[in-house]
Chains A and B, each alone.
Chain A
Amino acid sequence: MSPGLRILRPTVFVALLIALWQIGVRRATTHIIPGPWTVLLGMIELWRKGLLLRYVIASLFRVTWGFLMALVTAVPFGLFAGWHRRTRMAFNPLIQIFRPISPLAWIPIAILWFGVGDVSATFLIFLASFLPLTVSAMNAVQSIDPIQLNAARNFGLSRSQVIYRVLCPAVMPQLIVGLRITLGVSWLVVVAAEMIAVNSGLGFLIIDARNAGNRYDLVIAAMVLIGVIGLLLDIGMRELETLPSVRWGFRDN
């Protein structure tokens, strides 16, 4: 497929859906759901008031901190647990118990511990990212081909050299997939967290627009922004998959 066509096809499809949306809204008897044009005007209004950029940055700020904190703790922990059988055996049941608990179930506890505000929201993001990252790092270590570790030992590498020269590069592709999926989850959670705990951000915008006079144009504007930013984050993470030293892990490239 040519690159032009690759962009053209989804663009045409999205345009078609927007047209259908417009037609649907025109023919509806109620006027609560706004059409695409009204939503665009709502977005422009947000931009004029300086809220659009402020809210987007507020949301991204929380995701960045929560996600980074999870990254620097969960990845080393997951790698270690994957490498060290006893640690894995000790922690695995705990991980499996905590995993099905939605991060949103922690909202009351988060507020209790950190009060209403940025710290609570960031904490929720951290919680949402920590376990998935731990599990994907752990699995990545366990799926290393033992032949590669044997080969490394054969060349006389010390333990730390094996970790640095074989373990780290070997887990990269699977880890990058884990990061990408987890970043998506964090973005999902930040919006939900902002509906309760804070007074800025895209999640807050949705609740605020509805409470302050049923501004459904702003609700949908926020939804569109969330979707587009989520897409951009995913595209950014996918770029990592094209690095020459990890490309081997992705069959379709």
Chain B
Amino acid sequence: MPELKFPVPFAIVRTCLSIENVCMSFSDNGRRLDVLKDVSLDVEEGEFVCILGPSGCGKSTLLNIVGGFVRATSGKVAIDGEEVQGPDPRRIFVFQERGVFPWLDVEANTGFGLFNLPKQERRRRIDYYIKLVGLTGFEHAYPQELSGGMKQRLEVARALAVNPDMLFLDEPFGALDSITRLVMRTELLRIWEAERKTILFVTHDIDESVQLADRVVVMSARPGQIRREVRIDIPHPRDISSRKYLQLRDHIFEEIGLAHKV
């Protein structure tokens, strides 16, 4: 096992999200189905954490609980010391491009959450975030005229426009082709570096998690449990052919129980 080091500034950051002993079970025809068992996780402010696991390991359920859309059977989720009671505009959930509103154009989608702001400020933010995600020139296009990757950018712009503290992304690039997916990862990192939001990113793609995250949380399935946390202390931009990168990646492959050979 490679030796794991903590990144330098860890002394000054503070925990902003804490998940304590979260359990989730559904009853299916009288049979109890444990989806999550005793999941505990702390996330620091500004940290990029990937939750990695096979399909059906409950990682999306965990994200939905943290996002406030689903209530856990037991356990506690707190953000900045405040228990999560429901969805909140300070933490925005980004769905797989299906979350954009097809009846609104790019501009109106981006401004969707800004209804409480004065007109001028709304205008300023819409312009800024459309530019940030690279959709300039498409302000008046409707989602059905956009490609999958552009819809995904639009959703990110809409999320960032309300200036949230945290972003939750649930396999956001899962529906994209592999080339667009690579571009979107670079884009997401660029945006993250500009905005420094805390990001919780759910994926089943090992490479994706090692390329993006500060820390990868590996989950096992049925019941979903945290198996290991792996810190990826390689600065961005990451050289994905470097020895260290490959070591970390192979380590996770092993952890999941895959021999990295096809």
Contacts and interface: CB of A to CB of B under 8 A. Distances in A.
Interface string B139-182: 00011100000000000000000100000000000000000000
B102 interface: yes
B93 A150 contact: yes
A147 B95 contact: yes
Interface residues of B, number: 23
A155 interface: yes
A25 to B, nearest CB: 50
A12 B87 CA distance: 60
A156 B95 contact: no
A157 B101 CA distance: 14
A154 interface: yes
B69 interface: yes
What does DSSP make chain A's interface, helix, strand, loop or mixed? helix
A157 B86 CA distance: 12
A82 B139 CA distance: 33
B89 interface: yes
B134 to A, nearest CB: 21
Contacts of B112: 155, 165
Contact of B99 (A148, A165, A244): A148
Interface string A237-252: 0000000111111000
B113 A155 contact: yes
Contact of A244 (B92, B115, B142): B142
Interface string B24-63: 0000000000000000000000000000000000000000
B238 interface: no
Contact of B98 (A147, A170, A246, A248): A147
A154 B103 contact: no
B218 to A, nearest CB: 27
Contacts of A148: 98-99, 101
A155 B92 contact: yes
B224 interface: no
B113 A156 contact: yes
Nearest to B168: A154
A84 interface: no
A166 B113 CA distance: 12
B102 A154 contact: no
Contact of B95 (A151, A157, A166, A170): A151
Interface in B85-109: 86-89, 92-93, 95, 98-99, 101-105
Nearest to B116: A156
A154 B93 contact: yes
Contacts of A172: 103
Nearest to A157: B115
B113 A248 contact: no
Contact of A248 (B86, B87, B89, B103): B103
Contacts of A246: 103
A156 B162 CA distance: 11
Task: For the complex of A and B, list the 8 residue pairs with the smallest distance between their C-beta atoms, beginning with the closest.
Answer: A155-B113, A248-B102, A169-B103, A156-B89, A154-B87, A151-B99, A245-B103, A153-B87
6 contacts: A147-B99, A154-B88, A155-B113, A156-B87, A156-B89, A246-B103
Given A151-B101, A154-B89, 11 more contacts: A148-B98, A151-B99, A155-B92, A155-B112, A155-B113, A156-B89, A161-B115, A169-B101, A245-B103, A247-B144, A248-B142
